[in-house]
Amino acid sequence: MISGRTKVCGVIGDPIEHTMSPVMHNAAFSKLGLDYVYLPFRVTAQELGKAVEGARALNIRGLNITIPHKVAILPFLDKLDPLAEKIGAINTIVNDGGVLIGYNTDATGFLQALLEQGIEPKGKKVAVLGAGGASRAISFILAERGAKLVILNRQPARAEELAQRIAQVFKREVKALALNEENLAGILAEAEILVNTTSLGMSPEVDKTPVPARLLKSSLVVFDIVYNPIKTRLLKEAELAGAKTINGLEMLVWQGALAFEKWTGQQAPLDLMKEVATEALGHED
């Protein structure tokens, strides 16, 4: 029961209707008997600063940050975790007595999801599609792990900026290219892992894919971070090509569990969070 002692957490983004985070976190709070509640908030880019100050004023315990705010929110925070500072994007805020601290659980969540499937990225040739907030986190953690990266983005300047930032930090070459069919054909001929961080294929535009089916191959691992639908067109076509596939729900659950632990100090019930999100997504379909 919600009372004057209930701690409030939530997620801010635009759009926000697709989010599975409230389902996961509220089930986890209930399971552990914690007096917390988790709510979704649609916040436009223009209102972002006001929303952050509102969260501080209302003593909201923690927030997840989703598209399109993962980079734009940085100036409104008091402190950044070292990993988040390195990445230059966050997806989690902890309100520590009025001090707002930004973390990036996308990076570790992605890596955990990959390792859990038996995929070690060290030394592998990895193509990352997209150069937004999620791509920053994923590209940094892959570079830190020792992967050989190529970042492809529809606006090549953004891919270039991200590649240069990673190259500076890790003192190694990172390629950046325009995301088009010609470049994809060249890169995927040699790539061992493909990661889609774009929103192409996300509900309701489920017929879209960032990669033509003919470029997919059985030796590829394809990780699509889109989780609604669980099986995107990209993943369906990758399966048909004989590739190993990983869906976005894996990363969603891991990043959510890591955020949960920062807010509550308790270990997250990972299996339950995955179960309720899968069930809710099944109802969406």
Q: Is 70 part of the annotated catalytic residue set?
A: yes
In this structure, are residues 101 and 80 in contact, taking their beta carbons and an 8 Å threshold?
Answer: yes
Active-site residue identified among 7, 31, 50, 70: 70
**DSSP string covering 225-272:** ---SSSS-HHHHHHHHTT-EEE-HHHHHHHHHHHHHHHHHSS---HHH
In this structure, are residues 229 and 206 in contact, taking their beta carbons and an 8 Å threshold?
Answer: yes
Of 25, 14, 16, 8, nearest in space to 255 by CA = 25
CB-based contacts of 204, cutoff 8 Å, min separation 6: none
Which residues participate in catalysis according to the annotation?
70
